[in-house]
Structure 1
Amino acid sequence: MKNTPSRLVKSVALVAAVSVLAACGLPRLGPNKREIFAGSVMNEGDAFIVSVNDRVTRATSVVPALGFSNEFKNAGVLGSDVIRPGDTLGLTVWENVDDPLLGGSGTGGSGPAILEEVQVDGSGFVFVPYAGRIKAAGNTPEAVRRIITSKLSDATPDPQVEVRRVAGDGSTVSVVGGVGTQGVFAIERPTRTLSAMLARAGGISIKPEIAQITVTRGGKNGKVWFQDLYKHPELDIALRGGDRILVEEDTRAFTALGATGTQSRMPFETQTLSAVEAIAQVGGLLTTSADPTGVFIFRNEPADIANKVLGRTDLIGAQRMVYVLDLTEPNGMFMARDFAVRDDDLLYVTEAPFTQWDKTIAALTGTLGAADAVATTAGTGG
């Protein structure tokens, strides 16, 4: 008779546990496959669910189109270091006399005279002491050197003159972002193209695989992958005064959720990213809980691609698409290798059915253990 309360308590606890599990469910990572498929347009949902095959991978393989317009590519290389209004020149003058006109900075005043910044005015002229106003715009630094030398020869014997262009407001470009040295650089003979100017700025300081170069000229922008400058020589454009060059990392990213090693927003590490690479990047599938038949890519697909994937022509505007990958199929890994992940995609891996079953057993075992303790206490009290 003393066992009756114990059995009663256990029965009541079991019924209560099953009722709670049935009513509230168990903790889980997200929807299961059945629930995802229930949201299909075929089931009066709002998303098209598509199994990935060769045709789908071809239709969805869209890589960001980066490049320069013909206006950028057809601009010819600037002439040989031609000076323009707004340029800044540096002048150094050596005089072969003990008492130089320009006042050298060496011992006894016999060192060279250095004029660090001589601005070319709007009319294209510069002023040099004892040489007067000299036409610089339209000439090369070498031509200006000869003119100044000729002018100074009337005042001092055998002057030696050096003329160089430095950063200023004329034929210069600004380079910012992920480069070795940010700043304003003059367009000179060795730095008249984009790749040469990047080298002048110390090269890029970010991963080449995801580096993007943006050039702004006259209110228009062009953008290319850094590596394409060397793969496609026509993209190594000639520079123009006032160009702005920005070097930055690719900003694309995808989100990983579900039974994966990492659940977070992940940046692209390469120009193109396949589903297999995306899975590997987040640490792979969880071997203890992931369902390899339930790998999903959620995406808002442009209408032209959605129509192509679905074999239709009537869809207008972005469409909610869910692409399904089954890694257990004979060609499942190949499909995942060929399917391209795109910016803002959501990679979601469902839990295997046994995972929920294990959770149910664990929950019931824990509940029954608690019930047994209650029953023992009740029996003892009786």
Structure 2
Amino acid sequence: MITLTLRFAKGAALIVTLGAVSACGLLPRSGPNKSEIFSGSVMEEGNAFVMVVDDRINGIAGVSPALGFSEAFKNAGVVGSDTIRAGDVLGLTIWENVEDGLLSAPGASATPLEEVQVDGSGFIFVPYAGRIKAAGNSPEAIRRIISEKLADQTPDPQVQVRRLAGDGATVSIVGGVSGQGIYPIERPTRTLATMLARAGGVASEPEIAKVTVVRGNHSGSIWFEDLYANPGNDIALRGGDIIFVEDSQRYFTALGATGSQNRVQFADQAISAIEAIAQVGGLSANAADPTGVFVLREEPASVANQLLNRDDLVGSQRVVYVLDLTQPNGLFIARDFMIRDQDTVYVTEAPFVQFNKGVSALTGTLGSAAGLTEAVNNAGN
């Protein structure tokens, strides 16, 4: 009976010792435990709002911000390919109904005037017709003007005007495309999709490629895949537009009891909490606490006020979202919770992990002490 009592007392003393060691934070661990994170709540005089994710919270915070063009971009009409602009290059051909015409060479009835460029003021020069206002006119209007001016000097002139190049209305395409450069807006390339095709298509990963159009002091961005999924995103282009294609630089950081702890680039437009955990090797089978999956985020005041049913918060707020994967619908909620740029996903260790570490540390220490005592005794003998 005494022996059993002594064994029980030793066991109790061991557990107390392990608890004391763990409580003092002497054991190594991957980060704070659940209770320590909850102690950072505003309710505990901390500086973060700790929210257990449910369907309501998910509906407010579990969405990924969408990209899109403003109405000003979408409502812009297609540039008319027949409107001449300063910088455009025209091709003129003039036929004269006489053998010895004003412009034609001997024996020829037609006079080609190739690559006549519209100057910065919008004019072209045609011999015997003088300076002609070209910018703002269509090729047909320019043809009539030239014909009228030549009609006083040569009988019944016939004029053909062709727009050879749209250098007066160009866009710049840079970034992740096969052919960066300056491209004219012509009949086949008057919208964003067709202009990207003219540049050889997107060279970046389509799933994370972002297309930005800069027009003057305004800009708009969309995901490349949305350009084809939603025809409304195929906006009309304007001269001077800059089209920039880049890979998304969004990332999240994974810490704690996961397969790996790393900073991870987004592999798709949107990823859920479940997908984020899977990308870093899932939960550690030997260490993770599935009831303690946390997502740390800076939320704008508008979102934080919705989450807390308040209207007095101002500025960005620190929010810690708690996902309990062991709940009946826990996996579904985590599947629907979208990770955002610069989120931190942290998985706590299960309580028994610290206990096991304590046992290993204590038994290892006692074993080392016993070995040292035995070595000293042997040396004394």
Which position in structure 2 is the counterpart of 1:172? 170
Task: Kindly provide the CA deviation profile for residues 27-49 of structure 1, in whole angstroms up to 9, marking residues without a partner as x.
Answer: 11110111111112222222221
Check the 8 A contact 2:140/2:161 in 1, yes or no.
no
- What is the total number of aligned residue pairs between the two structures? 342
Structure 1: gaps spanning 5 or more residues: 1-13, 93-100, 103-112, 155-159
Which position in structure 2 is the counterpart of 1:36? 37
Alpha-carbon separation, structure 2, partners of 1:137 and 1:32: 71
Shift of 1:314: 2.9
Which position in structure 2 is the counterpart of 1:239? 237
Q: What is the TM-score with the length of structure 1 in the denominator?
A: 0.78
Alpha-carbon separation, structure 1, partners of 2:38 and 2:65: 30
Check the 8 A contact 2:89/2:163 in 1, yes or no.
no
314, 317, 326: which one aligns with 2:315: 317
Shift of 1:223: 1.4
Q: What is the TM-score with the length of structure 2 in the denominator?
A: 0.78
> Could you say if the C-alpha distance between residues 201 and 129 of structure 1 is closer, same or farther in structure 2, counting changes exceeding 3 Å?
farther
Shift of 1:82: 3.0
Check the 8 A contact 1:90/1:165 in 2, yes or no.
no
SS at match of 1:78: coil
Which amino acid is the alignment partner of residue 234 of structure 1? G
Which position in structure 2 is the counterpart of 1:350? 348
Which position in structure 2 is the counterpart of 1:224? 222
> Could you say if the C-alpha distance between residues 340 and 43 of structure 1 is closer, same or farther in structure 2, counting changes exceeding 3 Å?
same
> Could you say if the C-alpha distance between residues 123 and 79 of structure 1 is closer, same or farther in structure 2, counting changes exceeding 3 Å?
same
Check the 8 A contact 2:33/2:348 in 1, yes or no.
yes
Alpha-carbon separation, structure 1, partners of 2:21 and 2:113: 88
> Could you say if the C-alpha distance between residues 24 and 351 of structure 1 is closer, same or farther in structure 2, counting changes exceeding 3 Å?
closer
Task: Kindly provide the CA deviation profile for residues 12-62 of structure 1, in whole angstroms up to 9, marking residues without a partner as x.
Answer: xx9xx9787775511111101111111122222222211111011001134
Which amino acid is the alignment partner of residue 165 of structure 1? A
Alpha-carbon separation, structure 2, partners of 1:36 and 1:267: 26
Which position in structure 1 is the counterpart of 2:88? 87
Task: Kindly provide the CA deviation profile for residues 106-165 of structure 1, in whole angstroms up to 9, marking residues without a partner as x.
Answer: xxxxxxx997x76421233456899987765446679989999xx9xx9xxxxx998621
Mapping 1:133-282, distance limit 5 Å: 136-138=134-136, 164-165=164-165, 168=167, 170-282=168-280
SS at match of 2:220: strand
Check the 8 A contact 1:118/1:126 in 2, yes or no.
yes
Check the 8 A contact 2:83/2:137 in 1, yes or no.
yes
Alpha-carbon separation, structure 2, partners of 1:129 and 1:370: 105
Check the 8 A contact 1:81/1:187 in 2, yes or no.
no
Shift of 1:277: 1.2
Which amino acid is the alignment partner of residue 165 of structure 2? R
Q: Does residue 54 of the first structure (1) align with residue 52 of the second (2)?
A: no
Which position in structure 1 is the counterpart of 2:3? none
Give the stretch that moved more between structures: 332-341 or 202-211: 202-211
Which amino acid is the alignment partner of residue 32 of structure 1? N
Alignment RMSD = 3.5
Which position in structure 1 is the counterpart of 2:327? 329
Structure 2: gaps spanning 5 or more residues: 1-13, 94-102, 105-111, 155-159
SS at match of 1:227: helix
Alpha-carbon separation, structure 1, partners of 2:367 and 2:325: 39
SS at match of 2:219: strand
Alpha-carbon separation, structure 1, partners of 2:212 and 2:23: 57
Which amino acid is the alignment partner of residue 85 of structure 2? R
Task: Kindly provide the CA deviation profile for residues 251-291 of structure 1, in whole angstroms up to 9, marking residues without a partner as x.
Answer: 22211111112212222222222111111122211112111
SS at match of 2:207: helix
295, 298, 321: which one aligns with 1:297: 295
